[in-house]
Amino acid sequence: MIKTDYIISKIEKYASLELSEAWDNSGWQINLGHDYTNKVLVALSLTKDVLEQAITNDCDLIVTHHPLIFNSIKKINNPLILEAIKNNICVYCAHTNLDKTYGSTTDALCGVLGLQNLVTVEDYIKIAHLKDELALEQLIENIKQALNLEHVKLINPNNITIAKNIAICAGGGGSFIDTLRDYDVDVYITGDIKFHKALEVDGFAVIDIGHFESELPVLPLIQGLIAKTKVEVIIAKEETPWVIV
């Protein structure tokens, strides 16, 4: 068993809570005051299935990327919160602080995609400048293979065919469509592009790989970070809620 404070300090040293956005709720979600932690489960989101995995595997701490609690609570009636407390499981999350730190969710995605020579812009966005031009079709195929995807969404009103400068943002990066017009970008890789934002794309192509899919690569990073404390860490088995039919 490892001191709980030591585990949390490792996370917060890597991704300081000071990096979190004001609207965010990174940090403790359920703190039952455990002095020691026996086993940790890491996941993108705390769902019923993830909580059941934690219970089955005798985990007493769950570390997620997405907060369980965003808004103020007037009464505790969320089944996930109640079930976690009932099973003596603490919950902690690293959200926008992990998105913005060095070695972020986007860095993890870039690592899996093999994108290097990264420049950070606008906190959340990385731009990779390829040494050689790459056909857009080949880039899409590379992404599918690297992330084990059958489909991606392509928004390409300007009929871009070559990728040289690639912007990347893990998670939902639709709000940065306007911002990227200020940069020399051929392709933007992100997730969760809404319909009206898709209509605003101009001057570059967008490859929407999905919010869930774009953030999965960060879980082994979190696992490795926590494992340095010598506590046992497992990655939850999660699936996207979307099904292509």
Check residue 150 and give its pLDDT.
Answer: 92
Confidence at residue 37, expressed as pLDDT on a 0 to 100 scale: 98
Residue with tokens 């200020």: 182
Could you give the percent of the chain with pLDDT greater than 70? Answer: 100
Q: Which fold has domain 2-97?
A: 3.40.1390
Q: Is 148 exposed, middle or buried (0-12, 13-18, 19+ CB in 10 A)?
A: exposed
The pLDDT of residue 242: 85
Q: Distance between CA atoms of 43 and 92, rounded to whole angstroms?
A: 11
- Residue 179 above 90 pLDDT? yes
Which pLDDT score, from 0 to 100, does residue 135 have?
A: 98
Domain boundaries, the chain: 2-97, 102-214
Instruction: Decide which of 243 and 192 is more confident.
Output: 192
- List the single range of 15-19, 51-55, 160-164, 241-245 with lowest mean pLDDT: 241-245
User: What are 98-138's pLDDT values in tens digits?
Assistant: 999 999 999 999 999 999 989 999 999 999 999 999 999 99
- The overall average pLDDT reported for the chain is 96
Per the confidence metrics, is the pTM higher than 0.85? yes
Amino acid in position 234:
I
* pLDDT tens digits for range 36-93: 999 999 999 999 999 999 999 999 999 999 999 998 888 999 999 999 999 999 999 9
Residue 237 pLDDT grade (very low, low, confident, very high; cuts 50, 70, 90): very high
Task: Tell me the C-alpha distance between 215 and 109, whole Å.
Answer: 7
**Which pLDDT band holds residue 220 (cuts at 50, 70, 90)?**
very high
**Architecture of domain 102-214 in this structure:** 3-Layer(aba) Sandwich (3.40)
| Residue 27 pLDDT level (bands cut at 50, 70, 90) | very high
Mean pLDDT value of segment 10-32: 97
Q: What are the C-alpha distances in Å from 42 to residues 7, 63, 221?
A: 13, 5, 10
Residue 199 predicted with pLDDT over 90:
yes
* Domain 102-214 in the same topology as domain 2-97: yes
Is 15 or 74 the better-scoring residue by pLDDT? 15
